[in-house]
Amino acid sequence: MKINSASKAIILSSLLLILTSFQTADTLKGTWEYAGDIFNDKKEPAPTAYILQRKYTEAHFEAYVIEKGYVPEMYETGDYTLNADSCIEIQTFSTQDSKLLNIPVHYHYKISNDTLILKGILPNGERVEEYWKKVK
For each successive 10 residues of the chain (136 residues), what is the average pLDDT? 52 38 73 98 97 98 98 98 97 97 98 97 97 97
In a domain, 47, yes or no: yes
Q: What is the pLDDT of residue 63?
A: 99
Instruction: Tell which residue, 116, 114, 130, has the closest CA to residue 39.
Output: 130
Helix/strand/coil for 103 = coil
Q: The domain spanning residue 112 has which CATH number?
A: 2.40.128.280
In a domain, 14, yes or no: no
Q: What is the pLDDT of residue 23?
A: 55
Helix/strand/coil for 70 = coil
CB-CB neighbours of 24 under 10 Å: 14
In a domain, 12, yes or no: no
Report d(CA 107, CA 118) in Å as an integer.
6
What is the number of structural domains in the chain? 1
Range of the domain at 62: 25-134
- pTM, two decimal places: 0.81
Q: What is the pLDDT of residue 5?
A: 56
Q: What is the pLDDT of residue 94?
A: 98
In a domain, 18, yes or no: no
Q: What is the pLDDT of residue 1?
A: 54
Q: Which residues of 101-117 are buried (b: 16+ CB within 10 A; e: fewer)?
A: eeeebebebbbeeeebb
In a domain, 2, yes or no: no
In a domain, 46, yes or no: yes
Asked whether the beta carbons of 78 and 91 are under 8 A apart, the reply is yes
Q: What is the pLDDT of residue 26?
A: 82
Q: What is the pLDDT of residue 3?
A: 61
